[in-house]
Structure formats: C-alpha cells, structure tokens
Structure 1
C-alpha cells in the first residue's frame, strides 16, 4: 500500500512535468509489481533495483544509473529517501537529498542522516521541490 496522500501527490508532480524514477534495494521485478499494485507504474519510466547495478546503496551507482536513464544530471535532480543509506547514496551521486521520517527509520536517524532537507509530512514535498526549483534551472524527481 502507499502512504496516505502519496499517490495523489506523485500524480500531481507527474502532471506538472517532473520525470520520476524509483531507486530501490528491492529486486527490479518486485519494485515494478509494487508500483503496479498502487497504480503508479505509468508515471515511473525508470526503475533501478538491486538487479540493475553491480553496486548497491549506499554506493552512488544506482542513483547515477537512474540519472542516466532519465537523461538528466545530478545538479537537476532531487532524491527522496526513507533511509540513511538512501541519503548517503544520493549525496555520493551529488544530488539534492530529502529524507522522510515516515519510513522504517526513526525521525532522529533521518534528521541526523545528512540530508539537505528532512520532511515529516508527505504534503511538504511540493514545497520542497518548489524551493529547490527556485535555486535550479530545472528539476527531475525520483
């Protein structure tokens, strides 16, 4: 299942023209199946799972692969993660990182993760993207 408000928010971002990818430690097929189950597979053209790369998070390779497949650069990307490994991977790849506190890790762990921003509520993401976009010429989200 998706967290409350996530599907609507992600569909809104896709409708606004933000290309998105999934970078996960799960198998590619499992990630795709999960997207299908919550009805989001049509808005994620890129899925990078543990089957896609030699190196896994916290290595930057999965994030770098997603950037390449989206056809964008680290400077134009924002990476949202729910674990310290996500944040470490994103930072190593040079992307702006946003940690979320509603996943498996405690709020304090995510606040100490080194993320550029930390969100406690999914409804904050569009505002985080807007602030990021004001500092950058374009944005890709994943």
Structure 2
C-alpha cells in the first residue's frame, strides 16, 4: 500500500525538549519530595501525559503539580528547546512533495505550538492533535484516528513516527506503520522491545522508507 500520510510525535522526535522536561519535573517534584528524584529517575515520565505521571505520584495533588510544571516549562521553553539535525529539511521535503502531515502529541496544543513556532516547523503542519483534543491519550489509538480523520487519510496508508513506547503501541493499535527514531533518549534497545516496523537513523532514512513503499 502506498504511503501518503506521516504522523509525528513532537517531543524527542522532531524537537529536543529532553532537558526542558527533565528540569520541569525536577523543579515540580522537589517542592514536596526534596532530594527524592534525580535526572535518571524522572526519565520514565517522558512520554506519558502529565496527568498520568503526576497521578501515579500523588493523585490528590496532580492538578497542582501540572500547573507548576507547565509554568516552569513555558517560562524556560525558548532557552532550552532545539530542533534535531535534519528534521526541518526532512519535514519540508515531505510537505513539498505533497504528503499529508500531522503532529500527534500528549502535550496540550498550546505548548506544542510553542515548540513548532520556535523551530519554524509550524508552516508544515495543518493538523495538530494535542492532549486537549482527545479523551484518551496514546497508546490508545484515538489521537491517531482523529489526525487521520482530519487529514482525510487511511490508517493503512499512514506512518506514525515517535520516540517512545506510547507512539509505537498507538501506531499498532491504530493499524498504521510504526517507526521509532534512533535518536530517542531512551535508546534503540528500548524502542526495539516494542517491535516497531522500522527504526530510523535520520530523516533521510524515513524519506527512503516512505518512497520505497
């Protein structure tokens, strides 16, 4: 089946927000849990939604933690977020060649737009599905289904690209091709354990996969 649609996760996939996310978690959790969390112990929190993560720590205070996190995150956003090498060129090429493109993220749309505008990627995505657009987050297929619906695309003609287990599993659940990025913070071995269809080393690698199918 010919591929005409590519869905991208945002954080850790197109833009490097790892340092921002780590610092935001440490800042938030240090208030109630001084010294208990480190850079290594917050890594599993990268990927799931803030609601899922903070509810697992303290359900009663999850809303307060989310507000603290987002305030810190937004304040430091522009100084810590960068784009991965080759991403802008690759996305532009896909856009110029007529592929349907969308962002499917567990961020709220407002925060996702901050990253897209900062890195100049906002011109290439007409469809952005954020956490506030769905009732169930990845790995539930709902966000992918919603993106496909808005793009007038079919799952069997689409690829979902991401850096985390939630992305791979959501792709499988939705019936799209699953692609993990080799530059993921958690590493290739972690992604391979979820059996994605492909692991890409670069955006050129993704372009080659799209063109050969």
TM over 0.5: yes
C-alpha separation between the residues in 2 aligned to 1:111 and 1:122?
18
C-alpha separation between the residues in 2 aligned to 1:17 and 1:123?
16
After superposition, residues 39-118 of structure 1 pair within 5 angstroms as: 39-118=120-199
Tell me how far 1:77 sits from its aligned partner. 0.7
Q: Which runs of 5+ in 1 are unaligned?
A: 133-142
After superposition, residues 18-57 of structure 1 pair within 5 angstroms as: 18-57=99-138
C-alpha separation between the residues in 1 aligned to 2:193 and 2:181?
12
Q: Give 1:15's match in structure 2, choosing from 96, 100, 104.
A: 96
Tell me how far 1:123 sits from its aligned partner. 2.3
- Describe the superposition over 1:13-65 as per-residue Cα deviations: whole angstroms up to 9, x where unpaired: 10000110000011111111111111111110000011100000110000110
C-alpha separation between the residues in 2 aligned to 1:23 and 1:114?
20
Q: Note the aligned Cα RMSD (angstroms).
A: 1.0
C-alpha separation between the residues in 2 aligned to 1:20 and 1:10?
9
C-alpha separation between the residues in 2 aligned to 1:6 and 1:84?
21
- Normalised TM-score (structure 1): 0.89
C-alpha separation between the residues in 2 aligned to 1:78 and 1:52?
20
Larger radius of gyration: 2
Runs (4 or more) in structure 1 with deviation over 3 Å come to none
- Describe the superposition over 1:77-100 as per-residue Cα deviations: whole angstroms up to 9, x where unpaired: 111111111000011000011111
C-alpha separation between the residues in 2 aligned to 1:49 and 1:103?
20
Q: Secondary structure of the equivalent of 2:132? A: coil
Task: State the structure with bigger RCO (CA 8 A, min sep 6), 1 or 2.
Answer: 2
- Normalised TM-score (structure 2): 0.60
Tell me how far 1:119 sits from its aligned partner. 1.1
